[in-house]
Amino acid sequence: MHNKNLIKFLASGFYSGLSPIAPGTAGTVVAAVLAGVWLQKYTINLPLILVLTLVGIVISHWAEELYGEKDCQKIVIDEWAGYFVAMFGLGINMLIPAFILFRIFDITKPSPIRNLQEFHGGIGIMLDDILAGIMANLLIRLILAFV
């Protein structure tokens, strides 16, 4: 059997997803802080995103089983992965714009993000946030190209 406490700790983004108000936003705040610390020495690159995504799929799948609720709000490892995707290849000066755009796309779930919620388990939990991160990243890059 998997360590239930460790799964809940990781899936909830170090318990930030247990916030009674806006758990997804609380989880993204923690992700932004971690990204800021990471960017002091490293870049947010494809290997990091792949590891976070693959671990997130497994952890969120196990956590969904533990919580007994489809895409439980306490699970915010998907927000972490999505936010890191939003920050892919960007500098520390983009932490706040990426946060704002990622949350807008994640909360409003414009099509095709909304359609990805049909998938089940860890993949379903993660996919919509990954796409929200991609959309935020692309929009930032488009804006920067014209500024």
pLDDT band at 2 (very low <50, low <70, confident <90, very high): confident
pLDDT band at 113 (very low <50, low <70, confident <90, very high): confident
> What confidence score (pLDDT) does residue 1 get?
46
Q: Where are the domains of the chain?
A: 16-146
> What confidence score (pLDDT) does residue 30 get?
98
Selected residue with higher pLDDT from 90 and 2: 90
Query: For the residues 54-72, what does the mean pLDDT come to?
Result: 94
**Average of per-residue pLDDT values in the chain:** 94
- 3-state DSSP of the chain: CCCHHHHHHHHCCCCHHHCCCCHHHHHHHHHHHHHHHHCCCCCCCHHHHHHHHHHHHHHHHHHHHHHCCCCCCCCCHHHHHHHHHHCCCCCHHHHHHHHHHHHHHHHHCCCCCHHHHHCCHHHHHHHHHHHHHHHHHHHHHHHHHHC
> What confidence score (pLDDT) does residue 108 get?
94
Asked whether 39 and 91 are in contact (CB, 8 A), the reply is yes
pTM for the full model?
0.95
- Nearest C-alpha neighbor of 63 from the set 100, 105, 9, 103: 9
